[in-house]
């Protein structure tokens, strides 16, 4: 991208609500024929990581003869910072099967490359690092070009990442992007530089976040399936957004959204406002609106209704519970009956409320049940229609009575007398009325 294109892209994503952009510092030489950047500049002399190709004096003027590849990288970083955007930088994309830069990585040339990156960008406040790239560092070498190194890269990666961290003025977050569906924990747990866990997932993102969550580091779903894939599975809008909901409600600290027509930076303008991008931001906004609740995944909150983990299905439910045990959030991609274990909550005043969003998330209030559980039917709004009706609920400040009380049922009064059947009002799935 040119400077102007970078600015347009950053502005668009910022306006949508994204806070981080993932960028590969180097071209995908194994899959894309063009090795130069938008200004026809190369990153290295003869693809030697120890020899960055530098021209004249560093400058931000793209019309100058001195404007080299690394000037453009710095321009992108500083531009993002001016727009309050974080960049997740991949310094050396290894590639699927090692097709890109893995074969050029050695235990010796990574040291000067790391030192160069640290001296040039180590003081930048708005970057984090993602090492590797679609590759397991031990034996994943099926597509390494002939004549290049197929050696184990674990030591080289540790040397690179530890040098970069130790020589930088800012202790940036860093992780490793392995082969789908491998976690960075599998190779680099305990390394000083490994400061967040990278989960790389198939469609069932809850499985891969759950395997990393609770092990001491924040987990980020750095890649799931992108929109507009050309090979199976091709996910529709609901299945795409389910990946984000499942990730966050399984404990992820972040979710990386992707679109096949955007990541390659060719013709990306036409796909910036894809519905899947807007859905991903709705998920982010909802989670941010509950940021003060200190929510954690609790897979035992329901005694009925979690569904199954069948590949390709939208059956799995995920749930969060706040530290103070007064707020719960559940995600249900399809219709079902759910039973909530209210023994996991603490007693307190009930806060009657209105539906919190117009896309089907809703608030349940006035929960009173003698058996310390509560059952509700979650009905998926027919069709996709651009919303997420019926997929999300929030249970706020439930209070379990010790006295005998009739379970909610249709008809009856308002529950003001022991044993009276009652209705729950203000339960909305977007276009239809909820009833109990």
For the segment 145-178, what is each residue's pLDDT rounded down to a tens digit? 999 999 999 999 999 999 999 999 999 999 999 9
pLDDT over threshold 80, residue 392:
no
Name which of 85, 84, 55, 86 is nearest 72 in CA terms.
55
Average pLDDT estimate for 179-192:
95
* 235 has a pLDDT exceeding 70: yes
Model confidence at 221, pLDDT cuts 50, 70, 90, reads very high
Report the pLDDT averaged over residues 206-216: 92
389-409 average pLDDT score: 39
Q: How far apart are CA 298 and CA 319, in angstroms?
A: 6
Whole-number pLDDT of residue 271: 92
Instruction: Give SS3 for 78.
Output: helix
Give the CB-side neighbour count of residue 60, counting CA atoms within 13 A: 8
Give the residue among 76, 12, 88, 11 at the shortest CA–CA distance from 277: 12
Q: What is the pLDDT of residues 237-254, one digit of tens each?
A: 989 999 999 999 999 999
Domain spans in the chain, listed from the N-terminal domain onward: 3-292, 294-396
Percent of the chain with pLDDT strictly greater than 70: 79
Q: Is the pLDDT of residue 141 over 60?
A: yes
pTM of the model: 0.82
Q: Which residue has the higher pLDDT, 56 or 334?
A: 56
Query: What number is the average pLDDT over the span 347-370?
Result: 36
What is the pLDDT at residue 287?
Answer: 85
Compute how many other C-beta atoms are within 10 angstroms of the C-beta atom of residue 193. Answer: 22
What pLDDT score was predicted for residue 177? 97
Six token digits for residue 30: 């194994």
The pLDDT assigned to 350 comes to 37
The Cα 246–Cα 243 span in angstroms is 5
Task: Identify the CA nearest to 59 among candidates 47, 45, 73.
Answer: 73
Tell me what the pLDDT averaged over the chain comes to. Answer: 81
pLDDT at 414 over 60: no
* Residue that the structure tokens 């795409």 belong to: 240
Task: State how far the Cα of 177 lies from the Cα of 184, in Å rounded to an integer.
Answer: 6
Once rounded to an integer, what is the mean pLDDT over residues 89-109?
Answer: 97
pLDDT band at 10 (very low <50, low <70, confident <90, very high): very high
Q: Is the pLDDT of residue 220 over 80?
A: yes
Tens-digit pLDDT profile for residues 251-283? 999 999 999 999 876 788 999 999 999 999 988
Q: Which residue has the higher pLDDT, 323 or 70?
A: 70
Rounded (5°) CA angle 222-359-218:
25
Least confident of 271-280, 313-322, 368-377: 368-377
- Separation CA 211–CA 200 (nearest Å): 11
Q: In this predicted model, what pLDDT tens digit does every residue of 45-69 receive, in sequence order?
A: 999 999 999 999 999 999 999 999 9
Per-residue confidence (pLDDT) for residue 394, from 0 to 100: 54
In the predicted structure, residue 417 carries a pLDDT above the cut 70: no
- What top-level class would CATH report for the domain 3-292? alpha beta
Please check the confidence at residue 401 and state whether its pLDDT lies above 50: no
Q: What is the pLDDT of residue 95?
A: 96
Q: Identify the pLDDT of residue 406.
A: 30
Tell whether the model's pLDDT for residue 345 goes beyond 90. Answer: no
Phi-psi region of 105 (alpha: psi -120 to 50; beta: other; left: phi over 0): beta
The residue that leads in pLDDT, 100 or 380, is 100
């Amino acid at each position: 991208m040119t400077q102007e294109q970078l600015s347009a892209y950053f502005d668009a994503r910022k306006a949508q609500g994204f806070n981080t952009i993932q960028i590969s510092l180097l071209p995908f030489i194994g899959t894309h024929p063009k090795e130069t950047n938008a200004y026809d500049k190369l990153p290295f002399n003869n693809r030697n990581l120890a020899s960055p190709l530098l021209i004249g004096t560093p400058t931000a003027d793209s019309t100058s003869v001195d404007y080299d590849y690394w000037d453009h990288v710095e321009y992108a970083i500083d531009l993002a910072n001016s727009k309050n955007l974080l960049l997740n930088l991949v310094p050396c994309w290894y590639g699927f099967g090692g097709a890109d830069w893995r074969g050029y990585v050695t235990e010796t040339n990574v040291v000067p490359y790391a030192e160069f990156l640290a001296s040039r960008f180590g003081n930048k406040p708005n970057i984090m690092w993602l090492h590797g790239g679609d590759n397991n560092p031990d034996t994943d070498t099926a597509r390494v070009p002939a004549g290049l190194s197929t050696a184990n890269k674990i030591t080289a990666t540790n040397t690179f990442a530890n040098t970069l961290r130790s020589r930088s003025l800012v202790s940036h977050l860093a992780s490793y992007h392995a082969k789908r569906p491998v976690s960075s924990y599998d190779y680099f747990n305990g390394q000083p530089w490994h400061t967040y866990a990278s989960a790389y997932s198939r469609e069932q993102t809850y499985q891969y976040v759950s395997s990393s969550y609770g092990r001491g580091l924040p987990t980020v779903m750095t890649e799931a399936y992108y929109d507009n894939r050309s090979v199976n599975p091709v996910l529709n809008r609901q299945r795409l957004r389910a990946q984000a909901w499942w990730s966050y409600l399984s404990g992820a600290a972040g979710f990386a959204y992707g679109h096949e027509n955007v990541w390659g930076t060719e013709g990306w303008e036409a796909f910036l406002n894809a519905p899947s991008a807007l859905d991903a931001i709705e998920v982010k906004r909802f989670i941010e609106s509950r940021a003060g609740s200190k929510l954690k995944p609790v897979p035992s909150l329901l005694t009925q209704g979690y569904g199954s983990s069948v590949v390709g299905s939208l059956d799995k439910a995920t749930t969060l519970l706040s530290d103070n045990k007064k707020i719960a959030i559940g995600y249900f991609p399809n219709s079902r009956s759910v039973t909530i274990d209210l023994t996991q909550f603490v007693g307190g005043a009930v806060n009657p409320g209105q539906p919190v969003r117009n896309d089907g998330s809703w608030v349940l209030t006035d929960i009173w049940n003698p058996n310390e559980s509560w059952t509700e039917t979650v009905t998926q709004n027919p069709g996709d229609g651009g919303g997420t009706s019926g997929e999300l609920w929030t249970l706020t400040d439930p209070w379990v009575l010790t006295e005998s009380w009739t379970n909610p049922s249709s008809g009856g009064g308002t529950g003001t007398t022991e044993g009276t059947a009652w209705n729950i009002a203000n339960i909305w799935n977007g276009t239809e009325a909820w009833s109990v």
